[in-house]
Amino acid sequence: MKILANDGISQSGIDALSANEFEVITKNIDQEQLAEYININDIKVLLVRSATTARRELIDACPGLKLIGRGGVGMDNIDVDYAKSKGLHVINTPASSSASVAELVFAHLYGGVRFLYESNRSMPLEGETNFKGLKKAYAKGVELRGKTLGIIGFGRIGQEVAKIGLGVGMNVIAADTYTEEATINVTLFNGESIPVIIKTQSMEEVLAKSDFISLHVPAQKEYVVDAIAFSKIKRGAAIVNTARGGVIDEVALVKALDTGQLSFAALDTFENEPKPEIKLLMHHKISLTPHIGAATLEAQDRIGEELASQISTLLK
């Protein structure tokens, strides 16, 4: 049985699938030629990440497909309900990348509080001629320890972010529509863990109390953080979005940065991918990454192995 991993899959995933007699193809086929390739090559399983879409048109054009898999959490690039109505299995890997995304959040936070997002741009240009000036400009950093971290969306990834925040010594609060409380097990170096119960609050409370806000919500039809929400955020706070593009009003975000309502922002996802707005890319108070939350070797191995396990269970 042939599997097309159109956006790639880890070698560990390929090995696990091959051991169960699946043939894994890792060519990247353009979206326009994808249906034709699937039909000509009798592909039964299509695996995607964020680059490839599996919409109704593709599903209708490929009656031989048995399963569509998403390597990651979000399923907004797949017409899930329609695929299921046509008898296809639809799977994803919600747990595999949580730790990697959470670590990226803190990479941005640590970079933000020490102005790395800006000094890494300035040093190559002025480091030789204005070293003392840059040192003075970036000498007012703060520590994360003792600050309040607000998490909006308290699912798997949000709870992984909470673990790190608690370990750093932050006060962690959270808002979630469906979760009233969660027990966060903070793991120590010796394998022991300390349970911490976090009860969720309203989003308005989290916005007002937090020094730093991290978003972990699925794709939405409307903004989760819009101009009204920015007006409720504690002045001088910072916000990180490693969730989905479109959950933040980017125009309102730029205004909040320009007026000092926000001290800095960090974006891993954007409304217009793969062409983010130039005002975001050039803004001196925004830390930027190109949608790499799950892009660690460890996460990709876990994703590949979890996909392989699910496919083997469903189709063997």
> Residue 82, exposed/middle/buried by CB under 10 A (0-12, 13-18, 19+)?
middle
Indicate the helix (H) or strand (E) that contains 142: none
Are 292 and 49 a contacting pair, CB within 8 Å?
A: no
Sheet holding 67-70, edge to edge: 23-25, 2-5, 43-48, 67-70, 89-92
Q: Is 244 part of the annotated catalytic residue set?
A: yes
CA distance 153 to 28: 33
Which member of 23, 126, 205, 273 is catalytic? 273
Q: Is 114 part of the annotated catalytic residue set?
A: no
Q: Is 21 part of the annotated catalytic residue set?
A: no
Structure-token match 């699938």, residue found = 17
Q: What angle do CA 52, 222, 54 make, to 5 degrees?
A: 15
Beta pairing class for 193-199 and 181-187: antiparallel
CA distance 117 to 286: 7
Indicate the helix (H) or strand (E) that contains 3: strand 2-5
CA distance 164 to 157: 11
Which member of 49, 70, 156, 244 is catalytic? 244
* Phi, psi (rounded to 5 degrees) for 90: -130, 125
Which member of 118, 291, 302, 305 is catalytic? 291
Q: What angle do CA 115, 120, 125 make, to 5 degrees?
A: 125
- Residues with a catalytic annotation lie at 244, 273, 291
